[in-house]
Amino acid sequence: MDIDVKKIMLTLLERQKEYVLEDRENYGEAMVAVFLAFNQSHVTFPEFEDEEGKIAAYSAIVRKAKEDGAVLIITVNSARTKRCPTEAERENYRWGDFGPSGSQACILLTASGPGLRSCSLQLGYKIRGTNVEFDLEPEFSYGIELNLLPDWPARDAHGSV
């Protein structure tokens, strides 16, 4: 199965940008696309209120993906990011720690799967009145640790995206 992961991620990002423009402060997407062999895929929209709910929702998605023989999972989430967090902030980070103060809203996508080098795509944005200002370019990171998908296989050192 030949999947252009980067192209899919960029396509999903464009869709999310439209949702941000429509919803502005109310944008709060959580979406997971699961890709199976033979060009099959499905999308789910997990709902959660806190970190425990998030872990439960994503764990259920991973269980189902493994049962179905998934080859790729792409997550899409509204998130907050902080430039140059301290080492202590990174080590002790818990979901929601960055909150609105001192952080920037962003659309965050991750991709991982058996034999793939995990990666993320992040695009920050600011809402000023009725305008949305997106960063000029999305930021890609490769070989990242994905704590979002417990027990989901990912290859960090080799493989390709």
pLDDT (tens digit, 9 = 90+) per residue, 6-60? 999 999 999 999 999 988 777 788 889 898 877 788 898 988 888 888 889 989 9
Q: What is the pLDDT of residue 114?
A: 86
pLDDT in tens, 112-139: 988 788 899 999 998 888 899 999 999 9
Q: Could you tell me if 128 and 84 are in contact, meaning their C-beta atoms sit under 8 angstroms apart?
A: no
Q: Cα–Cα distance between 121 and 99 in angstroms, integer?
A: 20
Contacts of 95 (CB under 8 A, 6+ apart): 50, 51, 54
Which residues, including other chains, have CB under 8 Å from residue 78's CB and lie 6 or more apart?
27, 28, 29, 30, 105, 106, 107, 108
Q: What is the pTM of this model?
A: 0.79
Q: How far is CA 62 from the centre of its chain?
A: 14
**What gap in Å lies between CA 84 and CA 89, rounded to an integer?**
10
